[in-house]
Structure 1
Amino acid sequence: MSTSYQETLRVRFRDTDSQGHMFFANYLVFADEVAGNYMRELGFDWSNPGGLPCYVFTANVSCDYLHECLSGDEVEVSIAYERIGNTSATLGFSMRRLSDNVKLAKGSFAQVFVDRETRKPTPVPDSVRAAFPG
């Protein structure tokens, strides 16, 4: 996966489960947070839904858990578009712990771009197409 955008997040105690490692769903929360910030750079300011070029619905999520992460770990989350279609795209992510460079997880979000009024699929905006490395 080529990296288009990345951020570092720290695992908080509240992100962990009773076994002491990050709760499985929070890997997706971390990836979604960074993906949202990346999408903001591409013209999707979620604080102003009326100004969006279209909506973006997540149609599918996948995540492969490769290694555990603990409270206090600094995690680098990398996001990049892996595929762009006519009205949909796949946004991939990977996560690694900074202290030892261990890869923690990888996965993807399948996105469908939809018209704000009709909620029907609409072409992927040019700002997203421009972010696709392929």
Structure 2
Amino acid sequence: MARSDFTFFYPKRVRFAEIDAQAVLFNSRYLEYFDIGLVEYWRAVGMYENMGIVGGLEFHVAKALVNYKAAIGLDEVIDIGVRCARIGNSSMTVAFELHASGKDDLRATGEEVHVHVAEVRGRPTPLPQHVIDLFEKFEGRSLREGVPA
């Protein structure tokens, strides 16, 4: 992927509490940045309001992956790129990129698989069609596995 593959970005400034002894963003914070970007992306899509997912839907993270490309330093502004990469029967794969603000300066990539469940401790259940429609409308393309764009 490239920065141009993302239509949604959210800016985040690196704070002192987020760096490690080498004065770069601590490794666990990358997933935190992905989470910040995800909430803002879902808000833009129309899936998140008033501290929760619209309609009381429940999602569990089944996979989280971070690929580090270059260090992120204190006080930098980072653009968190988020996009829904694909939708399965009960899961969504979300792609992330972290770039220096306003630049095609890739610092990290990531991927998370979110599984829709019937309840907090429930089994996977199919994503409602209205959810799929929201993400496909926002991304401007088909996200279903095996469905041509």
- TM-score normalised by the chain length of structure 1: 0.86
Instruction: State the AA in 2 paired with 1:16.
Output: I
RMSD of aligned C-alpha atoms?
Answer: 2.1
Against the structure 1 CA distance between its residues 53 and 123, is the aligned structure 2 distance closer, same or farther, given a 3 Å change threshold? farther
Against the structure 1 CA distance between its residues 100 and 37, is the aligned structure 2 distance closer, same or farther, given a 3 Å change threshold? closer
Instruction: Provide the identity percentage.
Output: 23
Q: Which one of 106, 113, 129 corresponds to residue 103 of structure 1? A: 106
Pairing 1:1-134 to 2, within 5 Å after superposition:
1=1, 2-40=5-43, 41-45=45-49, 47-48=51-52, 52-98=55-101, 101-116=104-119, 119-130=122-133, 131-132=135-136, 133-134=141-142
The farther-off stretch of 33-42 and 12-21 is 33-42
Moved beyond 4 Å, runs of 4+ = none
* C-alpha displacement of 1:121: 1.5
Against the structure 1 CA distance between its residues 100 and 7, is the aligned structure 2 distance closer, same or farther, given a 3 Å change threshold? closer
* C-alpha displacement of 1:6: 1.5
- Alignment check: 8 A CA contact 1:42 1:128 kept: no
Against the structure 1 CA distance between its residues 45 and 114, is the aligned structure 2 distance closer, same or farther, given a 3 Å change threshold? farther
Structure 1 gap ranges (5+): none
- Alignment check: 8 A CA contact 1:56 1:114 kept: yes
Instruction: State the AA in 2 paired with 1:58.
Output: V
* C-alpha displacement of 1:46: 6.3
Instruction: State the AA in 1 paired with 2:105.
Output: V
- Alignment check: 8 A CA contact 2:90 2:124 kept: yes
Structure with greater contact order relative to length (CA < 8 Å, sep ≥ 6) = 1
* C-alpha displacement of 1:87: 0.3
Instruction: State the AA in 2 paired with 1:47.
Output: M
* C-alpha displacement of 1:38: 1.7
Against the structure 1 CA distance between its residues 32 and 127, is the aligned structure 2 distance closer, same or farther, given a 3 Å change threshold? farther
Against the structure 1 CA distance between its residues 48 and 70, is the aligned structure 2 distance closer, same or farther, given a 3 Å change threshold? closer
How far apart are the structure 2 equivalents of 1:65 and 1:118? 32
Structure 2 gap ranges (5+): 143-149
